[in-house]
Amino acid sequence: MNYDAVIVGAGHNGLVAACYLARAGQKVCVVEKNDWIGGAAVSRELYPGFTYSNCSYVASLFRPEIMRDLELPKFGLQILPYEGGAVFMENGDYLGMHRDHDANRREFARHSKRDAEAYDRYSRDVLRHCRFIRPMLLRTAPDPSSFRPRDLSELAWLGKQMFGLSEAAMYDMIRFWTMSISDFLDEYFEHPTVKAYQAVASIIGTALGPMSPGTAYVLLHHAMGDVDGNVGAWGFARGGMGSITKALKASLEAAGGEVRAGNGIEKILIKNGRAIGVAMENGDEVHGKRVVSNMDVKRTFLKHVDEGELPGDFVKRVKAFKIRGSSGKLNIALDKAPVFTALPPNSPHMKGDMHFTDSIEKMERAYDDWKAGHYSADPFQDMMIPTMIDPTMTPPGKHFMSCFVQYAPPKVEGQDWTDADRDGFAKACLDQIEKYAPGFKNSILHVEVRTPRELEKEVGLTEGNIFQGELTFDQLLFNRPVPGCAQYRSPIKDLWICGSSTHPGGGVMGAPGRNAASEILRDLRAPTKDMSEAYAVL
C-alpha cells in the first residue's frame, strides 16, 4: 500500500493536516507511537472513573475555521466557555475574575479604583493587537530573503496590513511586540495582583519571566484565540482536551483516512533525496508519496533522519533551535472539591483559572529558579477544576484538578530529573495549594506528576517544551523553525513538518497542521479555501 501521505504523530496538528489532505482526496495514514492518540490534546483515564486532560487543559486557540471545515462539532466536539477565576493573595484575600463586565470592575475596584477603570482600555489595546495578528495565523509566513512572486506578494500583504494602521498604532504595536509584559502592565495598572493576573498568559509554556522583553507577545499568543467569537476567552473541551483529537480522528476516518496507533517510527525513509515513507519500530514500513511530521523539528530531523541526508547549516540551526521546557503538570483526582479559605461559599471563581502568585515579582523569582536549573521553590500554578463545569469527567461529587506549573527546567542542575526531584517538585505545588485550601491534600485520590522528563518521554515533546519550540522573535514567523525553512517544507523533498515547531507556533491551535496541508495541496494544485474574509469583521 502506498499512501499519498504518511503523517507521523497523531497530535492535533498531525490530525488536522491529515483531515485536510483526506478531504482533498488524498489517501493518508497517521502513525502514532502511543496506544492512544491525541499527543498533547488528550483525555486519559489514569484513575478509575476519572478522565484527565493530562497535558493541555484548556481551549481557545483552536481556529474556528478549522473546527468548521472539519465539522468537528458533528463528530462530537463541544467547547464550553468557563467562568470565574481567582488569584489567591498572600494577605488572605483574593482577586476574582468575572465574565460580567460590571462585576469584574467592582472586583478590581476592591483592590484599586484606578485599575478597575483601566481594565477596559487595557483590553481594548490587547484586542487591537489580536486583530492585527489573527489574520496571519492561517497564512504561511513569507520568506523575506526570497524574490519568488508568492513571497513578495505575501510580504506586500503584510505591509498592507501594517499600513492599514495609523502611524501611532504601528509604533504601539512594534513596542508591544518587543517589550516585557511587566513594563507593559506598569503603564496600565498599579496593583501587583492585578498585574500578576494579567501576566499569567505571558509566561505560560515560556522559558522567560514576566520581566523579559518579548513576553508581551506571548500574552498575545494566548489572547488571540476565542470561544464563539469572544476574543481572548478560554474554555474547556467537554470530556477533556482529548475530545478535540477524538473528533479530529472521527472526521479523518469519515473522510477515508487511517490512524495506526501503538507503533512509533524508527526512521523516516529517504531514497534519492526524497522521503518515501517511514520504518516502524516493529520493523514494518509504511510507504507514502510524502511524509508529514507532526513531531517537533528536533525530534524529526535529529532523531529520525540520517544527518548525512541534511545540509550542515540546517542541522546546525536545528540543533540550536530553542526548545527548553519550562513547565510541568500535576493531574489530580479529588474525592471532593477543595475549600479555599479566601473564597465565599459557592463562589463562581472556582469555575475558572486559579493562581497563587499575587505579584509579578514572585513570578519572576520563580523564573530565576528555572534559570539556575531548579524547579521553582514557590512555583506559579495555573490551576483549574474542569469538573466544576464539565460533569462528564468524574463520578458525581468528585473532581479532576489540573495544575499547570512553572517553572520546571528540562534538566535539574544539568542532570536528568530523578524521581526524588519529581517528588520535590510535586510537593512544592501541593504544599502551595494546601496553604490556601487546608485539608486539600487529604482529599487526593491520585496524582500524576509530569515534569519535562515525562512530557518528553510520553508525548515526545523535546525537553518537555509544550510549544515545540520557544516563542521568541528569533523563532517566530519566517524564523520558525529555521530561517529559509519556515514554509512547512524541509531540505528533503517530500518531507514536511506540520507541528507547533512551525508558524504560528504552539497551543492547541491546529493552524500549523492546516497551513502545512495547504502548502502540500498548493503543490498539488488543489488549494484550500480561504475563509479569512468571513472572519475578518470580528
Partner 1 sequence: MNVMRNSDPRLHYLTPLKQTPFHPRTAAENRLNDWGPWAGYTTALSFGDTAMEHSAIRNGASVYDLCPMVKYRVTGRDAAAYLDRLTVRNASKLSVGGVHYTIWCDDAGKVIDDGTLFRLGQTDYRICCQERHLPWLLDSAIGFEVYIREETEDVAALSLQGPCAWSVLNAAGFDVADLKPFRMRSFPFDGGELMISRTGFTGDLGYELWTTPAHAIALWDHLFAAGAPWGIRPIGTHALDIARIEAGFIITNMDFIPVDQAVREDRARSPFELGLEWMVDFDKGHFTGRRALLKEKVNKSSKWALVGLDIDGNVSVEGSIIYHNGKTEVGTVTAACWSPSAKRNVALAQIRRPYHETGNLFVEVYALRELQYAKLMLPARMCERPFFAPPRRRATPPGPF
Partner 2 sequence: MPSFDVIVIGGGTNGLAAAHRLQTSGRKVLVLEQAGQAGGAAVAREFAPGFRTPGLAHIANQIDSRVMSGMDLGRHGLGFVTSGLSSTALSATGDHLVLEGSAGATIRGTISDADRKNWLALRKQLLSFAEVLAPFKQLTAPRIAKRAGNEYGKLARFGLNLRMLGKADFREFLRMILINVYDVVNDELTDKRLKGLLTFDATLGSWLGPRSPNSLILLLNRLAGEGAGQRAALALPKGGMGAVADAMVKSATASGVNLRTGATVDSLLIEDDRAAGVRLANGEEVRAKIVVSAMSPKTTFLKLVGPRHLDAGFVKRIGDQKSRGAAAKLHLALKGAPDFRGADLKSRLVIAPSDDQVELAYNAVKYGEVPKRPVMEIVIPSAHEPGFAPAGHHVLSAVVQFAPHKPKAGADAARAEMLENALAMLEEHAPGIRALVTHAELLMPYDIEAQYGMVGGNWHHGELSVEQMLFLRPVAGIAQYATPIEGLWLAGAGCHPGGGISGAAGWNAAERIIREARA
Could you tell me where the beta strands, DSSP code E, fall in 257-300? 258-261, 265-271, 274-280, 285-293
Q: For residues 279 and 266, is the Cβ–Cβ distance under 8 A?
A: yes
Return d(Cα 265, Cα 286) in angstroms, integer: 9
Closest CA to 248 of 30, 536, 2, 522: 30
174/534 with CB nearer partner 2: 174
- Tell whether residue 320 is a contact of partner 1 (CB under 8 A): no
Only segment of 97-105, 194-202, 236-244, 267-275 that touches partner 1 (CB under 8 A): 97-105
The minimum distance between CB 175 and partner 1, in angstroms, equals: 16
Q: Is 69 in the site for partner 1 (CB under 8 A)?
A: no
Site string for partner 1, 150-169 (x = CB under 8 A): ---------------xx-xx
User: Which among partner 1, partner 2, none contacts residue 100 (Cβ within 5 to 8 A by kind)?
Assistant: partner 1
**Residue 348, contacted partner among partner 1, partner 2, none, CB below 5-8 A by kind:** partner 1
Q: Which is nearer to partner 1, 96 or 512 (CB)?
A: 96
CA nearest 33: which of 354, 262, 350, 286?
A: 262
Say whether residue 110 binds partner 1 (CB under 8 A): yes
Q: Which is nearer to partner 2, 45 or 474 (CB)?
A: 474
Rank residues 232 and 484 by Cβ distance to partner 2 and give the closer one.
484
DSSP secondary structure code for residue 10 in this structure:
-
Query: Of these partners, partner 1, partner 2, none, which one is at the site of residue 98 (CB under 5 to 8 Å by kind)?
Result: partner 1
Interface positions with partner 2 (CB under 8 A): 144-145, 162-163, 167-168, 170-172, 174-175, 178-179, 183, 186-187, 208, 211-214, 313, 320, 322, 361, 364-365, 368, 371-372, 472-474, 478-479, 483-484
Binding segment (CB under 8 A) for partner 1, from list 33-41, 42-50, 99-107, 198-206: 99-107
Rounded to a whole number of angstroms, the minimum distance from the CB of residue 47 to partner 2 is 39
* 3-state per-residue secondary structure call for 373-403: CCCCCCCEEEEECHHHCCCCCCCCCCEEEEE
Provide, rounded to whole angstroms, the least separation between the CB of residue 130 and partner 2.
19
Residues composing the chain = 538
SS in 3 state form for 154-182? HHHHHHHHHHCCCHHHHHHHHHHHHCEHH
Using CB distances below 5 to 8 A depending on partner kind, what does residue 167 bind out of partner 2, partner 1, none? Answer: partner 2
Choices 56-64, 108-116, 381-389, 498-506; region in contact with partner 1 by CB under 8 A = 108-116
If one counts every other C-beta atom within 10 angstroms of the C-beta of residue 7, the result is 37
Work out which of 128, 260, 303, 441 binds partner 1, going by CB under 8 A: 128
Are the beta carbons of 271 and 89 closer than 8 angstroms? no
**What is the spatial distance between Cα 498 and Cα 60, in angstroms, rounded to a whole number?**
20
Residue 424 site contact among partner 2, partner 1, none (CB < 5 to 8 Å, cut-off depends on kind): none
- Contact between 319 and partner 1 by CB under 8 A: the answer reads no
Q: Which does 96 bind (CB under 5 to 8 A by kind): partner 1, partner 2, none?
A: partner 1
Using CB under 8 A, which residues numbered 335 to 354 contact partner 1?
344, 348
Question: Is 124 a residue that touches partner 1 (CB under 8 A)?
Answer: yes
Between vectors from CA 190 to CA 187 and to CA 192, what angle results, nearest 5°? Answer: 115
- Residue 110: in which H helix or E strand, if any? helix 101-111
Cα angle 126-131-137, degrees, rounded to a multiple of 5? 115
Binding mask 170-199 for partner 1 (x = CB under 8 A): ------------------x-----------
CB 64 within 8 A of CB 536: no
User: Nearer to partner 1 by C-beta: 95 or 498?
Assistant: 95
Regarding 120 and contact with partner 1 (CB under 8 A), the answer is yes
State the minimum distance, in angstroms, from the CB of residue 354 to partner 1. 15
Contact segment (CB under 8 A) with partner 1 among 25-33, 124-132, 217-225, 474-482 equals 124-132
100 binds partner 1 (CB under 8 A): yes
Return all residues near 383 (Cβ < 8 A) that are at least 6 apart: 353, 354, 355, 356, 401, 402, 403, 404, 433
Residue 468 C-alpha cell reads as 515545540
Shortest Cβ 501–partner 2 spacing (Å): 15
Least distance between partner 2 and beta carbon 356 (Å):
19
Mark out the alpha helices in 138-258 (DSSP H runs).
149-163, 167-178, 181-186, 192-203, 215-223, 242-254
Q: What whole-number distance in Å separates Cα of residue 380 and Cα of residue 362?
A: 8
Q: Least distance to partner 1 from the beta carbon of 88, Å?
A: 13
CA dist 304 and 437 (Å) reads 46
Select 184 or 488, whichever has its Cβ closest to partner 1: 184
Alpha carbons 331 and 241: distance in angstroms, whole number: 13
Give backbone dihedrals phi and psi of 437, rounded to 5 degrees, phi first.
Answer: -135, 75
Residues that bind partner 1 (CB under 8 A): 96, 98, 100-103, 105-107, 110, 113-114, 116-118, 120-121, 124, 127-128, 131, 165-166, 168-169, 188, 344, 348
